[in-house]
């Protein structure tokens, strides 16, 4: 007989795992359950193997689904990008990285740099074609070049692309809500809850929404593209290009919206109480120090900032 502490043999563990698959991920018929009971009793090590394996199954089943999915997706993506990036390193000259990711105590971001940014980080890249790209906070892109075309995929977050006009390969851009194509343009893409925000500064962009007919987008236009492919010109309370210069620049923006903007650049929770959410904010703020932005708010508005922890901050009425 095994002592309770001894590990079951691999063969028993493998069998227990096969049973777990049958019992948990399928709808087992009574016969299967009978066979399982028979297996359990057929070897002195089987109950221990089953105990460990089913405990593991319980742990995994107990994970909150949405939270886990989101976390793993984000984490896996960082790794995938890192691997892709090893290939891309040859073609990408990585410029200075802004924000506080540079202050990470572990210097591995330099060691294993990738085409994504952490919360609060902004980064400039230069494509092998000479195009200039900027990634905003918590963003990720994939870039690839072939003899016929240049491709950028917005994996998440926000990016600005200032293409090199001397390269005449078309640029194709993939997003969640559809594709864009351009020969030369300075454009900005931002994923948001509604879909995608597209702003064009220079050049000529054609939008191919996933389920609507193509539309030319011209310099000065800002479009909100919805998840279903429809789109609409919008006027914003903020300058969508501000972050490319390191600032958040807003006009009469409701405080709730403003705080949601600032929260994009801060790890942890940042909340705004509903009773102050409609107060209006105007001004230009430095993104490099979000703590200071919050501090400044208390001077111009009747609000106060509560730090429950460094990562849990609420804005309420003063």
Binding site for another protein (CB under 8 A): 7, 13-14, 17-18, 20-22, 25-27, 52-53, 56-57, 59-76, 78-79, 104-108, 111-112, 118-119, 138, 263, 267-271, 311
Cβ proximity to another protein: between 37 and 71 the closer is: 71
Cβ proximity to another protein: between 1 and 106 the closer is: 106
- For the bound state, the minimum distance from the C-beta of residue 190 to another protein, rounded and expressed in Å, comes to 17
Whole-Å CA distances, 296 to 122, 205, 237: 22, 39, 19
Cβ proximity to another protein: between 185 and 290 the closer is: 290
Cβ proximity to another protein: between 76 and 228 the closer is: 76
Give the whole-angstrom CA distance, residue 239 versus residue 285.
Answer: 12
- For the bound state, the minimum distance from the C-beta of residue 85 to another protein, rounded and expressed in Å, comes to 13
Cβ proximity to another protein: between 118 and 227 the closer is: 118
Cβ proximity to another protein: between 49 and 217 the closer is: 49
- For the bound state, the minimum distance from the C-beta of residue 103 to another protein, rounded and expressed in Å, comes to 10
Cβ proximity to another protein: between 17 and 305 the closer is: 17
- For the bound state, the minimum distance from the C-beta of residue 306 to another protein, rounded and expressed in Å, comes to 14
- For the bound state, the minimum distance from the C-beta of residue 73 to another protein, rounded and expressed in Å, comes to 8
* CB neighbour list of residue 212: distance below 8 Å, 6 or more residues apart: 229, 230, 231
Cβ proximity to another protein: between 28 and 229 the closer is: 28
- For the bound state, the minimum distance from the C-beta of residue 245 to another protein, rounded and expressed in Å, comes to 24
- For the bound state, the minimum distance from the C-beta of residue 14 to another protein, rounded and expressed in Å, comes to 7
Asked if 284 and 296 count as a contact pair (C-beta separation under 8 A), the reply is no
- For the bound state, the minimum distance from the C-beta of residue 165 to another protein, rounded and expressed in Å, comes to 36
- DSSP letter string, the chain: ---TTSPPPHHHHHHHHHHHHHHHSS---HHHHHHHHHHHHSSTTHHHHHHHHHHHHHHHHTS-HHHHHHHHHHHHHHHHHHHHHHHHTTT-EEEEEEEGGGG-SS-HHHHT--SB--TTEEEEEE-TTS-EEEE-TT-EEEEEE-SS-EEEEEEESEEEEE--TT--SPEEEEETTEEEEEEEEEEEEEEETTEEEEEEEEEEEEEEETTS--EEE-TT-EEEEETTS-EEE---SB-TTGGGGTEEEEEEEEHHHHHHHHHTTSSSEEEE-GGGTT-EEEEEEETT-HHHHHHHHHHHSSEEEEEEETTEEEEEE-
């Amino acid at each position: 007989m095994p002592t309770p502490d001894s590990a079951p043999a691999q063969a028993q563990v493998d069998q227990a795992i096969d049973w777990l698959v049958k019992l948990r991920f399928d709808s087992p018929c009574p016969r299967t359950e009978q066979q399982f009971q028979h297996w359990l009793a057929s070897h002195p090590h089987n109950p221990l193997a089953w105990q460990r394996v089913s405990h593991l199954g319980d742990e995994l089943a107990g994970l909150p689904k949405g939270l886990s999915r989101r976390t793993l997706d984000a984490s896996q993506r960082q790794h995938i990008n890192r691997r892709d990036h090893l290939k891309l390193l040859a073609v990408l000259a990585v410029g200075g990285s802004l924000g506080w990711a540079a202050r990470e105590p572990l210097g591995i971001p330099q060691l294993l740099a990738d085409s994504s940014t952490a919360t609060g980080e902004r980064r400039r890249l230069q494509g092998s074609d000479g195009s200039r790209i900027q990634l905003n906070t918590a963003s990720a892109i994939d870039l690839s070049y072939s003899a016929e075309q240049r491709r950028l995929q917005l994996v998440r977050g926000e990016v600005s692309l200032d293409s090199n006009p001397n390269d005449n390969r078309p640029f194709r851009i993939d997003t969640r809500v559809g594709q864009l194509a351009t020969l030369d343009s300075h454009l900005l893409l931002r994923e948001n809850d509604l879909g995608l925000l597209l702003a064009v500064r220079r050049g000529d962009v054609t939008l191919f929404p996933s389920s609507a007919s193509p539309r030319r987008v011209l310099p000065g236009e800002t479009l909100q593209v919805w998840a279903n492919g429809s789109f609409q010109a919008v006027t914003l309370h903020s300058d969508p290009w501000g972050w490319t210069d390191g600032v958040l620049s807003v006009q009469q923006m409701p405080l709730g919206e403003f705080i949601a903007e600032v929260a994009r650049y801060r790890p942890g929770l940042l909340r705004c109480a509903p009773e102050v959410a409609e107060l209006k904010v105007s001004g230009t703020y430095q993104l490099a120090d979000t703590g200071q932005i919050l501090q400044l708010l208390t001077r111009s508005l009747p609000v106060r900032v509560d730090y429950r922890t460094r990562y849990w901050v609420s804005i309420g009425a003063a």
